[in-house]
A and B are shown apart, each in its own frame.
Chain A
Amino acid sequence: KNEVEQSPQNLTAQEGEFITINCSYSVGISALHWLQQHPGGGIVSLFMLSSGKKKHGRLIATINIQEKHSSLHITASHPRDSAVYICVSRETSGSRLTFGEGTQLTVNP
């Protein structure tokens, strides 16, 4: 069974700080997603990675397939980045997705 672990569970930062959220998984995967969930519950897909690195604005996501590890970075953090960030792995066989428990990020002005 695939286990997906995120760290930290909670993260508080000051505006402008560089933020890193980590995700580790235990089995071979075909893709890893980073999601952002806002207080109202709505979820937005930020990235889908199968290798390497992707960048979108101030967000950067990396994945190391050999180490079964992915990171989400936020540069120049802003209070509007406050949300829960969730890592999701898609197993190589089939469509099953496994979710991490999420990282609650709070960015203070």
Chain B
Amino acid sequence: DGGITQSPKYLFRKEGQNVTLSCEQNLNHDAMYWYRQDPGQGLRLIYYSQIVNDFQKGDIAEGYSVSREKKESFPLTVTSAQKNPTAFYLCASQLQGLGAGANVLTFGAGSRLTVL
């Protein structure tokens, strides 16, 4: 079945460590997104990518980095520069264009990061 796989589902890290969250999709979607959700708040855009080897900063990109070397993969690294990294992270993808299935959003199950 097609979908988005995020891993790990739960992650604990010590302060000062970098961690990488995986997001893989087999939907052949062009656009991929990373969002952060804090308790009682809406989703905020960290980074997005419309095409391989290209990505754009979202509203809260500081302290995060991404890569898009393959269409299927859009990993997010939470660096030690991110001052408050404890949050729920969601990856999403979307097929661009005008054809059937275009612009439908698909979400991963999320990754919950806790900094100890």
Q: A interface vs B, CB < 8 Å? A: 30-31, 33, 35, 40-45, 48, 86, 88, 90, 94-97, 99-102
CB of A42 to closest CB in B, whole Å: 5
How many angstroms from the CA of A23 to the CA of B60 in the assembled complex?
23
Residue numbers in A under 8 Å from B107 (CB-CB): 35, 42-45
Interface check B106, CB cutoff 8 A: yes
Contact, CB under 8 Å: B110 / A41: yes
Nearest to A98 among chain B residues (CB) is: B45
Q: Is B2 an interface residue (CB 8 A)?
A: no
Residues of A within 8 A of B103 (CB): 30-31, 48, 90
From B48, B90, B105, give the contact of A41 (CB < 8 A): B90
Number of A-B contacts (CB under 8 A): 52
- B112 near A: Cβ within 8 Å? yes
Among A30, A35, A40, A43: residue with most chain B CB under 10 A:
A43
Category for how many chain B residues contact A: 20 to 34
- Which 4 pairs between the two chains have the least Cβ-Cβ distance? A101-B42, A43-B107, A41-B110, A99-B43
The answer to whether residues A94 and B109 also contact, given A43-B90, A86-B42, A100-B42 and a CB cut-off of 8 A, is: no
- Shortest Cβ distance from A2 into chain B, in angstroms? 11
Closest CB of chain A to B94's CB: distance in Å?
7
> Who on chain A is nearest to B35 by CB?
A99
Question: Are A95 and B112 touching (Cβ within 8 A)?
Answer: no
Cross-chain contact of B104 among A30, A48, A96 (Cβ < 8 A): A48
Contact across chains for A95 and B94 when beta carbons are under 8 A apart = yes
Contact at B106–A41, with CB atoms within 8 Å? no
In the complex, chain B residues 26-45 whose Cβ is within 8 Å of any chain A Cβ? 31, 33, 35, 37, 41-45
What's the nearest-Cβ distance from chain B to residue A70, in Å? 15
Chain A residues whose CB sits within 8 angstroms of the CB of B43 once the complex forms:
86, 99
- Nearest residue (CB) in B for A102 is B42
Q: A88-B105, A97-B48, A99-B45 are in contact. List 7 more A-B contacts (CB 8 A).
A: A41-B110, A44-B107, A45-B105, A48-B105, A96-B45, A97-B45, A97-B105
